[in-house]
Amino acid sequence: MKSKIFGLIACFLLCISLASALTINSVLTTPSQIAPGGVSVIELGVENNGENTITDVSVSLDLTNVPFAPELSSSEFNFDEIKDGRIKYAIFKIRALNDAAAGIYKIPVQVTYNEEGEIKKMSSLIGLTINSQPILDASIEDGLLLKGSENKISVKIINKGLSNVKFLEIEMKKSSYYSITSPERVYIGDLDSDDFDSGEFTVYFKENAPSASSMPIIIRYRDILNNEHEKTFNLNAKVYSQDQAIQLGLIKRNNTFIYVILVIAVIIIYIIYRRIKKAIKRRKEKEE
């Protein structure tokens, strides 16, 4: 029993001896998220939890495998000493690469220090987020829209931002000037940066619809960090009556009815002509 107790005590003392006197007790990044090409200031709180004064402290960030670069000439910060129970702050200024993909990145931190003549090292990880606010724009793609008939309307969504979006959905809202005869929601899914996609709706415009009709739509999506976003657009649609479209040459007048009337008229005239001709012939035969 005593041997077990002494073994536990020895193990405990060994763990204490191996424990690092320095710890990173706080991480502050300003801003909390960096846009691609943006700059962030990182402030690391380095605390001396030991009983001795620590000297020759070096704190460095390993940016080898992450899309960041030091804004200053070095990614290393030094202290002459940190007394026991004290905290000092290592400050770094880094820039996200212009082509960096949005996401959460783990940056290795290594601390080297001198404790009573012995060089020691301590490693840790900090997280840094690259993200930028998605910038989405919406428009109605070119197409002839007519009153008094069903129309296929294609709503184009463009991602002008630097971050991708996911779970994108378009909803068209109802109006007193038109009715939606297709589903009111269209699911798009993922939309990458500098890309576009479209959702199609079928809409019946009433005869009293104004020539410049406002069509409200709502787009919903999540950013790379799974935050939900919602944005409303009032899209302008140019709507024509049949007569306006014909006058402007947007559509050709349907002359089928006129052609049918002309054909019928020709047939009637021909029948009348034949009857008159037969009647004249009979009269001549009687006179002879």
Query: Is the distance from CB of 240 to CB of 211 less than 8 angstroms?
Result: yes
Long-range pairs for 182-188: beta carbons < 8 A, 24 or more residues apart: 186/155, 188/157
DSSP letter for each residue of 174-201: PBTTEEE-S-SEEEEEEE-TTEEEEEEE
Domain 136-247 has CATH 2.40.50.140: no
| Residue-level pLDDT at 1 | 45
| Residue-level pLDDT at 17 | 37
CA-nearest of 254, 139, 143, 250 to 203 is: 143
Domain 20-130 has CATH 2.60.40.10: yes
Residues of the chain with CATH 2.60.40.10: 20-130, 136-247
> Per residue of the chain (288 residues), what is the pLDDT tens digit?
434 433 433 333 333 334 578 888 899 999 988 988 899 999 999 999 888 899 999 999 999 999 999 987 678 999 999 999 899 999 999 999 988 888 889 999 999 999 988 999 999 999 998 888 889 999 998 788 898 889 999 999 999 988 889 999 999 998 988 999 999 999 999 999 889 999 999 999 998 888 888 899 999 999 888 889 999 999 998 888 887 777 766 666 555 555 667 778 778 887 887 778 777 777 776 666
| Residue-level pLDDT at 269 | 83
| Residue-level pLDDT at 51 | 87
| Residue-level pLDDT at 96 | 93
| Residue-level pLDDT at 71 | 86
| Residue-level pLDDT at 254 | 56
